[in-house]
Amino acid sequence: MRLFIYLLLCLFTSMAAYSQIEAKTKDGREVILNKNGTWIYTDSLCNFFTHTKTYTNGKSVIYANNTIKVKGEEGKTGLEIMLLKTSQSIVMNITILDKDIWCVNKETRANITFTDGRKIELQNMGEDNCRGNFSCFLGNIMGNKKELEKLSKKLIKSISISYTINNSETSVTNTVETFFNTGEAYRVKTITECLSDK
């Protein structure tokens, strides 16, 4: 019993040690304060999470260093999210991680619920496909700046997308809701915020 209590105490102590608090310095720079007494400027996070590729024609694209794999609940299908910034918009690509054929067309919507209960709806702007690839272009020029602002300021609780599943005989619509853990939601928020600021 003592061993169980000791392990439980160690678990909660380690979880608390990794908690973070957002704050501002006197000069207005945003920082992340860690429970262990360390801190980092949030703009340093942008350098950690993103990189810029410049092409020979002088145009550049800013990418997230890695895709964000959202595992979802155990036994359910997850998602892979890639974020990048072009000269006119931020692109959010969402791909379902499943072996089945999941079709997306211009009518497909992604319903995003944030941890504060607010919701936004994004429309697929990418090509019609049966690879489960949903793409949305975000920004002022695309007419969805408010949605982009919410993605860069709030933590995602879940994304729900209604796919069409095709097989040789039938076509069925299936809505898949994928829940985010705090780390996954924080990465989407931080990378979106970094791309919005550049």
pLDDT confidence of residue 85: 94
Strand, helix or coil for residue 133: strand
H helices of 37-89, in order, are: 42-49
Instruction: Tell me which H or E stretch contains 195.
Output: helix 182-197
Q: What does the alpha-carbon distance between residue 106 and residue 95 come to, in Å, rounded to a whole number?
A: 15
**pLDDT tens-digit readout, 22-37:** 788 888 877 777 777 7
Q: Which residues pair with 10 in a beta bridge?
A: none
Instruction: Tell me which H or E stretch contains 61.
Output: strand 60-64
pLDDT, mean over the chain: 84
Q: What does the alpha-carbon distance between residue 109 and residue 125 come to, in Å, rounded to a whole number?
A: 10
Give mean pLDDT, residues 74-85.
86
Give mean pLDDT, residues 100-107.
88
Give mean pLDDT, residues 74-91.
88
Which one of 36-40, 72-76, 123-127 scores highest in mean pLDDT? 123-127
Q: Which of the two residues, 59 and 165, has the higher pLDDT score?
A: 59
Secondary-structure breakdown of the chain: helix, strand, coil percentages, each rounded to the nearest 5 = 25, 40, 30
Instruction: Tell me which H or E stretch contains 150.
Output: helix 145-153
Strand, helix or coil for residue 192: helix
Distances in whole angstroms, Cα of residue 11 to Cα of each of 15, 18, 19: 6, 11, 13
Q: For the full predicted model, state whether its pTM sits above 0.85.
A: no
Backbone phi, psi, residue 75, to 5°? 85, -5
pLDDT confidence of residue 11: 40
| The two structure tokens encoding residue 114 | 């944030």
Nearest residue to 76 (alpha-carbon basis) of 177, 187, 196, 149: 177
